[in-house]
Structure 1
């Protein structure tokens, strides 16, 4: 007789099927469990990422090209407006400044007093001669009126007086012209020297603010150009947040809104700030807008360029009818416990909840949409 062979059941397969069924039933029953809307507070916010910056922070550039001759400060030093940071070597500008100093010394009013004194002596001599000739002419005229003397003598005296008068007036004109010329040359030489000093000062990088040197980007001896940043400076104690906000959210951001800030440097802590400036132009590369905020609750220690994440609070509703966003379909529909689809009007939304303005009440029982 042929014996029947009964294969043992495949318990692994059976266990797998039962397990999958149990998981499906469990998830399905939990996800389909009816809930009711709640009345709670809801906050809508806009996400932004960014960095910490010192107030008045800027990259310092020089107008000169050449090797760095000397560095006068160190990173972390305090500086004032006009404090020299470093000097770039330029033999040409140094020689130009020295040449301008020589030209000014030669053209100065004080250095040309001898020329004026010499001409003043000529004026004094011409004046004395004019006065003497005037006196002789007056005497000869008196004699001429008494018919004493010849006509030639009278005319000669008059001609001498007129010539000496002309010479005196001419010497006055030459004196004034020389004085104006010396004054012009002196002023011109002073201007040239000032220009040379300005050009030479371009080779000395100076601080534009009262603050702190956060970074020196080059070392002594390195070649620099006007296109290369040499240092980073900013306020010593005051900092701001530079945020990047997506173009889709920028219309919701306004000056004065509260900003909740978190940073990797202070894990588990949240700080508060306030929107202080919204830049009106979009960065076409990142498709975002720059927004600045100032701390109202400041961390104990800050450094420029610390990364941060922020939520800009755009609206707060203290009492709102809300449902979990997972129960919302296409931001406009929900399913009640009878599996009817209901249309709703949505208000504020965040990552967890959505406010319901119309369509259901707090008594409505809804279920989570199935897969």
Structure 2
């Protein structure tokens, strides 16, 4: 009997404790903010990775991490022995072409004399022909003699036109020869310059990713460069949330490097294409007040503020039943209409007043 009585008493105490633990709460009147989560990294403004434009062995690193870099500054030198030989070969071909050009120029000078002689002869034969046309009309020259004069005139005209065409061909040949070899020299010099990797703009060298002696290709990252003391946030937003994000929205940022601190930023740029692998969109945000120290690639988490409501009724999310009911009077279901929500609370727009008590579903 005593054992049964003890069990009964313990059961009563447990029921009492459960009821006490579910005594209910009243809605809170305050502000609620709806936000979109995003994660990403800190980037230097204009940050980019340097790649070579050709393959080769990295002969020399000409800069040191932390250096200030100016536009066009040489950063790396690749082994360019073959390119130098190619340039020397092109220059030799250019010199030979110049000699060939002088030969063509001499031919042009000779052809100019030939053209002038042909022109003079044409004028003479044309004058004789015109005179014989008049005499022939008056019957002063035989048909045979007139045909000889006419044939001489036509031959002189053809000889002049042929010489003129030949002169034009020589001039075109000379021009093409010179242009072709100048282009070959420039291409060789450009190919040689490709073995010196230069900076695309002014900034700071944040990292060197290779060592001297390494074999590199156009797919090999060599260095990271960006603007000094100018940083932004590069964030990824899930495709399901992207339609709510617009330029100018406020962003609350936390970083592992600054535990317990929240920094404000603003959405500055939205890239209008989705990454098919991660199903996310990339956005950029700029700090309203930049932290004292930042470094590229620091990790960051952010909440992009979509809406904020003040003086609204809110309840904890776990007190919402089936996304549209609350429990009143212990276990009575009442339908409510919800509005904004954040990670912990949800706004109640209809169906519940501030002074009422709601209960947690057991």
Normalization by structure 2: what TM-score?
0.78
- Asked whether the equivalents of residues 115 and 164 of structure 2 are also in contact (C-alpha less than 8 Å), the reply is no
Alignment partner, residue 41 of structure 1: 31
The one of 80, 105, 129 equivalent to 2:95 is: 105
Instruction: After superposition, give the CA deviation of every residue in 1:11-63 in whole Å (9 maximum; x if it has no partner).
Output: xxx9xx97x9878755641x422332232111111222211112222222223
- Asked whether the equivalents of residues 130 and 161 of structure 1 are also in contact (C-alpha less than 8 Å), the reply is no
- Asked whether the equivalents of residues 206 and 223 of structure 2 are also in contact (C-alpha less than 8 Å), the reply is yes
The one of 208, 213, 216 equivalent to 1:216 is: 208
Distance in 2, matches of 1:275 and 1:21, equals 58
The answer to whether the aligner puts 1:351 opposite 2:343 as a matched pair is: yes
Structure 2 CA distance for partners of 1:130 and 1:366, relative to 1, 3 Å: closer
What is the deviation of 1:88?
1.7
The answer to whether the aligner puts 1:61 opposite 2:51 as a matched pair is: yes
| Greater Cα shift, 229-238 or 119-128 | 119-128
SS in 1 for 2:292: coil
The one of 246, 270, 286 equivalent to 2:238 is: 246
What is the deviation of 1:290?
2.3
Structure 2 CA distance for partners of 1:210 and 1:24, relative to 1, 3 Å: farther
The one of 166, 170, 185 equivalent to 2:177 is: 185
SS in 1 for 2:63: coil
Distance in 2, matches of 1:59 and 1:69, equals 19
The one of 76, 81, 89 equivalent to 2:79 is: 89
SS in 2 for 1:368: coil
The 5 Å alignment of 1:126-137 reads: none
The gaps in structure 2 that reach 5 residues or longer are 132-150
The gaps in structure 1 that reach 5 residues or longer are 1-8, 142-158
- Asked whether the equivalents of residues 50 and 307 of structure 1 are also in contact (C-alpha less than 8 Å), the reply is yes
The one of 60, 66, 70 equivalent to 2:60 is: 70
- Asked whether the equivalents of residues 57 and 233 of structure 1 are also in contact (C-alpha less than 8 Å), the reply is yes
What is the deviation of 1:165?
10
Distance in 1, matches of 2:155 and 2:351, equals 116
Instruction: After superposition, give the CA deviation of every residue in 1:93-134 in whole Å (9 maximum; x if it has no partner).
Output: 2222211122223324x98457535753785699689979x9
SS in 2 for 1:96: helix
Alignment partner, residue 138 of structure 2: none
Distance in 2, matches of 1:105 and 1:57, equals 44
- Asked whether the equivalents of residues 205 and 226 of structure 2 are also in contact (C-alpha less than 8 Å), the reply is yes
Let me know the Cα RMSD of the aligned residues.
3.9
The answer to whether the aligner puts 1:308 opposite 2:297 as a matched pair is: no
- Asked whether the equivalents of residues 260 and 270 of structure 1 are also in contact (C-alpha less than 8 Å), the reply is yes
What is the deviation of 1:211?
1.9
What is the deviation of 1:81?
3.2
The 5 Å alignment of 1:1-371 reads: 25-26=16-17, 28-29=19-20, 31-108=21-98, 112-113=101-102, 116=105, 120=109, 175-370=167-362
Instruction: After superposition, give the CA deviation of every residue in 1:270-322 in whole Å (9 maximum; x if it has no partner).
Output: 11111223334443443433222122221122111000111111110012111
- Asked whether the equivalents of residues 81 and 209 of structure 1 are also in contact (C-alpha less than 8 Å), the reply is yes
SS in 2 for 1:308: strand
Normalization by structure 1: what TM-score?
0.76
Structure 2 CA distance for partners of 1:244 and 1:173, relative to 1, 3 Å: closer
Distance in 2, matches of 1:283 and 1:173, equals 62
**Greater CA radius of gyration, 1 or 2?**
1
